[in-house]
Amino acid sequence: MRGTAVYFTIGLLSIPTLIFAACTKQGSTVVYANGILTTYDQAYDDLHNLQRRFEDALGLNTSVNFTNGYNPSHLAGAGDLIESAAQLFSSSVSNYDLNTILLQIYPEITTQKILFVGHSQGTFYANELYNYLLAHGETNGAVGVYNVATPASSVAGYATVPNEGAYLTSMNDKVINAVRDVAQNAGAAQPLPANIAIPLSPQEAANQFGGHSFSGVYLANAAPRIVFEIEGALGKLTAADSTSSSQADVSATDAGCFTPPPRNFSYYAQRLTFAVADPVAGGVVASGRVIIAAGESAYVAVAAATQAVNLAFASAKKMLTGTVIITAQGTIASIGNYLSSIFVDTGNGNPHVPPASTSTAPIAVIRVSPPQAPPPSTKPPLPPTANATSTPSR
Amino acid sequence: MEPQKTSFWRRAWRAIRIPLVVIVVLYIGLVIYRIPAAFDRQKTEEVVAKIQAEKLKLGDVMGENLPPAPDPAIQDASVAGVDANGNGIRDDVELAIFKLYPNSARIRAAELQYAMALQNELTQVFNSETWIAAVQKESPALSCVEDLKLDGGEVKDLVLNTDLRKKQREDIFKNYSASFTLISGNHCDIEPTPLPN
């Protein structure tokens, strides 16, 4: 009796937990990967607006699912900048976010045919997700990529510079144009050439990051083209054994449409690190902003002081906003410093009066050691305002 | 031969019984530890089912069930506010929409549906599964409003009218956001075309 109980218990404990997820050949899934420094709300709005434009153009299409692969911000945005800098060199500092996106979308994806739509830094992830899926269960031809406002030099799935229909980048996108300068100075691969000219509204023209927003710029001004090209990309996807006449078309032996990455020690260690560091970084940035705000109030009171005092205060303010210290050297350090000079703007055209801080979003600054002056930038002049037009790609 | 076999199994049993007891005790401990999670799982399933099943009723659109004006001291004192008629729409928001659009049942239907979805996000979400269920209702509701060439900002301002509620939404999104799939299909709980105006 006792022996029977023991063997029964051993048997019970030995039963593995099996999870089956359906993976149908019918329909397709658009997975949206958001850009750098995007909040949850903005990522949600972007996905909603993308689906909305799709429906406006093509009707209520129940065969296309829209899923988000949320790319979270880390270290008050500094982590995003570091990762973006590394991705510019076709490298990666950490695979944590990629794995998190994969683990999150894995139960959501029930179709073999998947199109990753990336925006900004999300285009790096879209390319990486494509490569991962092809290496872990998905069949060639069933996965595609369409990138918007891409700093990447390629679109996954294309051996050379892709033809029309694989990406969309505006020549007035200030963020991508800044990345071109950084890439040129750092010897990294250039982002793909612009292939559309979306005019900037007065607000976008005044915005340091103007011309880059997925919903506010690209969808607002070029939705028909984006929808057309996404639809085209979806049409090129082919599921495995597409001649099957089975209505079910569900692979009963597949555990989902691809093999997700393991939740191993490394993954949990990084998760714990970010769980601690992200709020701390956000708090430090917030504290820094309080100091900045107090400093600005004091500065306004002594605004008539000498230029030497103004310059000294501006330097101190910039040091106070450097809340993340990276001990990177060489090219990564140069990129980080240059990006920090883009994202912390203490100049408003008047060298004597630093502008009052009005943004409530956390400012990400990478301070490298030793600090270096950013290289001079030669941004191309903005074209005159005109209707959005397509320029032929190379 | 037989005594040797018996001796072998006895020896094996002696070797594994203590580790086995440890495993069984740990397993039982894990089961006990997971009991709250099991209740949590049950609660999650109930709330997700409730959110998914919740739909705006025609009577609410036509004003058949309007609530009394809530006490101003109470209506904004908490995140949930007052919902005296229990239709899932906060009373001050419901009355404001009726005041804004007394002559358009179509706009009221769309905005009330969106208000209900936003209220669910504030009051029903306590983990990622419930968050997904709530945002999956929000998107078609917003689309229903956008179908009428409105932008939803008006309803959002009515629902998120205090710092407490804005912070609640921020915290919910920060803590529970996860990948999700938007639901395709009809946007509106109540088809606007048959409505009189």
Which pLDDT score is estimated for A94?
A: 55
Which pLDDT score is estimated for A318?
A: 47
A94 vs A78, higher pLDDT: A94
Residue A100 distance to chain B (closest CA, Å): 10
Please state, in angstroms and as integers, the Cα–Cα distance from residue B7 to each residue in A8, A10, B2, B4, B157, following that order.
Answer: 22, 21, 9, 5, 79
Which pLDDT score is estimated for A392?
A: 39
pLDDT band at A241 (very low <50, low <70, confident <90, very high): low
Q: Where are the beta strands (DSSP E) in A247-361?
A: 324-326
Alpha helices in chain B, H assignment, sequence order: 2-53, 58-61, 72-75, 91-100, 105-123, 128-147, 153-159, 163-176
The stretches in chain B having pLDDT less than 70 are 1-6
pLDDT tens for residues A272-287?
655 555 555 555 444 4
Q: Of the candidates A10, A40, A47, which has its C-beta nearest B182's C-beta?
A: A47
pLDDT tens for residues A334-350?
454 455 555 444 443 33
Question: Which tokens in the block code for residue B35?
Answer: 């009991």
- Range in A113-127, A195-209, A265-279, A304-318 the model is least confident about: A304-318
Which pLDDT score is estimated for A296?
A: 44
Residues of B with CB below 8 A from A67's CB? 179-182
CA angle A65, A66, A67 (to 5 degrees): 115
Which pLDDT score is estimated for B179?
A: 86
Please state, in angstroms and as integers, the Cα–Cα distance from residue A41 to each residue in A46, A216, A308, B21, B182, following that order.
Answer: 9, 14, 43, 50, 14
pLDDT of A88 strictly over 60? no
pLDDT of A247 strictly over 80? no
Model pTM above 0.90? no
The answer, for A231 touching chain B at a CB cutoff of 8 Å, is: no
Interface test with B, best of A17, A28, A68 (most B CBs within 10 A): A68
pLDDT of A317 strictly over 90? no
The amino acid present at A45, given as its one-letter code, is D
Which pLDDT score is estimated for A74?
A: 53
List, edge to edge, every strand of the sheet that includes B181-182: A167-168, A143-148, A111-119, A24-33, A64-69, B181-182
Residues of A with CB below 8 A from B139's CB? 48, 51
| Per-chain mean pLDDT for chain A | 68
CA distance A96 to A100: 6
The answer, for A9 touching chain B at a CB cutoff of 8 Å, is: yes
